[in-house]
Structure 1
C-alpha cells in the first residue's frame, strides 16, 4: 500500500484575471486592464494538495468547504485529490488577482472576513489519524484552531512527520512538528526581532524551534534560500538560485509540498528542505502559478470516498 500524505488546512478559491494595460482610466489615474484570460484553482491548502497530485502522489485534502458555487469551483479544480470535508460556515474565501502583462495590478478578496468556527470535523480527524505524513497549511481561516483537529495533529506528531506552514493570523504549530516553515516576516513578527542578515535569521529559527518544540524550523528568505535550525545538529543556510519574478504566489506551498513528499519517501529532514527550496525555486523560474496546468491529470483511484481508503 502506498504511503498516505494528508494536507490539512484552509482552502481558498484563487482566480487569476490576466490581460494587458495600455491606457489609464478617465475616471482616475488607474490602469485599464483588458482581460484576455481567466484561470481558477484551489488555493491555500488546496494548492499544496494540487502540487502533490501533479507529482502523481496519492493525496488527501482534509479541509472545510462551503455550500456555495465557489466551493463547487474549488472541487472542480481538485481533480486527482481525495477530499475529507467539514462544512465551512459562510461563503468560500476567494482571492482574485489581476495581472497586466504578467505584473500584479490588484487583488480583490471576497469572503475573507473573520472566520466562524468550523464544525463536524470527524472526517478530517479520521484522515489525520490515517496519515503517514501530514502537511498542515494554515491560512488563518480557523480550521487548525479547531479543538478536535488540533488534538489529532498533536497525537499524530508523536509518531509521524508533521510539516507545518504557519500564517500571521493562524495558530501556533503543535509540539513535535518535524518541520515548521515560517517566512521572513512571519518569523520576525513572532519573535519581535528584525531579520536583516543570515545570522539573525539563523538565530530566529533556533528561537522558534525551541519555542515550538519542533525538530526543525526553516525560515524561508526568498532568493536567500532558507535559514534552518535543527535539533541536535548545526544550524545551516540552504542557498537558492536567484530568480527574477514579479509574483511569488504559491512558492511557499510548493516548498512544503516537496518537503512532505521527500519525507514520506524517507529523506532526512535537511535533505528534504534542500530539495524543497530547489523545487520552489524551479517553480518560480518556470513562471509560478502561470506554469500550472488548468487541472492535474485525473486518476480514478483518487476519487473514491475516504471511507474506502484502507
Structure 2
C-alpha cells in the first residue's frame, strides 16, 4: 500500500553527539617532492564541511526539518566555522565550548578525486567535560519528537544513559548510531543502527540470515530496546523488532562513488521520517533510498527532500504493492522475501537466464512475465556457468554488472545469482507460484518444470521477440 510522502517540515529533531569539521584540500599533484618520495600537491581550493554529528544535523536540515544540535567544541576558529555552516541551513546550535579543548578537525588532501592522506586533529574529551555539557539538555530537547545520539567515541556521549533517561521522561523517541563493542551503555533506547562490522563486534560472527535475526533478537532483549536496524552495505539493511518478523530491504543498485557519511544519512532520514509521523518500516524504506543517493556523491554529502522524493517515487512505482523496495539479493535473503510476499497473498513469478547483454527482447519478455503475478524474480547464471553455456569470451558483462542492470528495470522486484548450472535447487528452496521461460519449445523443455508442478506451481513458456538475441548483437559488434 502506498503512503503519502512525509511532511518533513513539521518534524523536530535533537542531535547530541561528537561534532567535527571535515576539511578538504583540493589541488594537483604533478611532481614528487625532492625531500621525500611523496607527491607535492599544489592546493587551489579549501572546503570546510560539518562532519560527525554535525553531518547528521546537516542531513536533517537538507530534508527540510527543524533541528537543534549540541556537542563539545573548543572556543576556536573551527567551532565558529561549524556554527556558521550549520546556521546557514537553519540548524540551531547549542555548543558546549570547553575552555581547554579543541574542536575535532579531520583534514583530507585530495588530488584527481583521490584521497592522498588524512590528518586528524583530535583529543578525546574528558568525562567531566561531557558532564558539564548536560546543562544544555532542556534547551536542545525542547519540543523534539526524536533524539539522535551520534556516537563517534570521542567522549561527548560518555554518559549516554543521561540522555536516554532524559528522553524517556519526556516521551521522546531515541535513536542511537553506536560505536564500540559494548552496547549496554545504550540500554533503554528505542532503536540502534549499527553497521554489520559493529554488530558482529558485539554479538560475534554471523553465520547466516537466521543467525543474524536470532542474535539481533537476543540483543534487543538484553538491551531492553525496541529495534535494531543493521546496515549491510551491498546487502542492504535489515530491521529487527522485538518479537516481530524481520524486515529486509535490499541495497538499491547504484554506482558507488563514496560511502563517506552514508550512516549519518541513514539515521538522519530515519529520525526525520519518524518525527514526521510515519511508521518505522516506512522510515527504514526512506532511509534505504536516501543511502542509495548519498553513496553516488563524493565526500561528506547530504540528500535533499526533492532528491529523496523523486527517487522514492520512482521505486514506489516499481513496487507499488507495498513499501518494500526490491533489488539484488542473496539466495537466503530472497527466500525470506518470498516467504513474506506469500504471507501477503502475492503471486510470485520466477524466470532465469544469462541476461548477458540486455536488449529489447529481454525487456519485453520480462514485462510479460511480471504481468503474470505480483512479484518477479530474475535469477542469473554465474560467470562460470555462462562460459560453459556460451563459450569462451562470454559473459560480456560480469555477474555484478548484470545484477545491477536487471535490478534497475521497472518490472523486476528481486534479482539474484544462483549457484551451479541450473536453478533447480533455487526453485526447490523458494517455490515460486509460476516458472516462466522464453522459447519455442513446450514446458517439458523448461529446466525445473517437474519441480514446480510437483508442489502445485505453474509452468509457462512465452515467445521471444524476433530478431533479438545477445549472440546476434555480439556477432554484429565483432563483424562476424
Considering only CA atoms, is the larger Rg found in Structure 1 or Structure 2? Answer: 2
Is the partner of 1:157 in helix, strand or coil? helix
**Are 1:82 and 2:92 matched, yes or no?**
yes
Is the partner of 2:29 in helix, strand or coil? strand
Q: Tell me the TM-score normalised to structure 1 length.
A: 0.83
Among 8, 23, 34, the alignment partner of 1:15 is 23
**Are 1:231 and 2:273 matched, yes or no?**
no
Bigger mean CA deviation after superposition, 71-80 or 155-164 = 155-164
Deviations 1:219-245 (A, max 9, x none): 111121112211121123221123343
Is the partner of 1:233 in helix, strand or coil? coil
Aligned-residue offset at 1:195: 4.0
Q: Tell me the TM-score normalised to structure 2 length.
A: 0.55
**Are 1:150 and 2:161 matched, yes or no?**
yes
1:36-51 correspondence to structure 2 within 5 Å: 36-51=44-59
Q: Distance in 2 between matches of 1:55 and 1:145?
A: 29
1:290-305 correspondence to structure 2 within 5 Å: none
Distance 1:145 1:29, change over 3 A: same
Aligned-residue offset at 1:121: 2.3
Name the structure 1 match of 2:225.
214
Among 128, 131, 135, the alignment partner of 2:141 is 128
Is the partner of 2:157 in helix, strand or coil? helix
Bigger mean CA deviation after superposition, 230-239 or 26-35 = 26-35
State whether residues 95 and 107 of structure 1, in contact with CA within 8 Å, keep that contact through their aligned partners in structure 2.
yes
Is the partner of 2:20 in helix, strand or coil? strand
Deviations 1:134-156 (A, max 9, x none): 1111111222224xx63242241
State whether residues 28 and 41 of structure 2, in contact with CA within 8 Å, keep that contact through their aligned partners in structure 1.
yes
Specify which structure has the higher proportion of strand. Answer: 1
State whether residues 58 and 302 of structure 2, in contact with CA within 8 Å, keep that contact through their aligned partners in structure 1.
no
State whether residues 85 and 124 of structure 1, in contact with CA within 8 Å, keep that contact through their aligned partners in structure 2.
no
**Are 1:103 and 2:111 matched, yes or no?**
no
Supply the RMSD in Å over aligned alpha carbons. 2.6
Name the structure 2 match of 1:303.
none
**Are 1:167 and 2:175 matched, yes or no?**
no
Q: Distance in 2 between matches of 1:76 and 1:261?
A: 22
**Are 1:34 and 2:46 matched, yes or no?**
no
Q: Distance in 2 between matches of 1:104 and 1:208?
A: 37
Distance 1:41 1:233, change over 3 A: same
Aligned-residue offset at 1:246: 4.7
Name the structure 2 match of 1:260.
271
Is the partner of 2:300 in helix, strand or coil? helix
Q: Distance in 2 between matches of 1:217 and 1:141?
A: 23
Distance 1:53 1:26, change over 3 A: same
Q: Which has the higher contact order (CA 8 A, sep 6+)?
A: 1
Q: Which runs of 5+ in 2 are unaligned?
A: 1-8, 305-480
Name the structure 2 match of 1:182.
194
Name the structure 1 match of 2:205.
194
State whether residues 16 and 150 of structure 2, in contact with CA within 8 Å, keep that contact through their aligned partners in structure 1.
yes
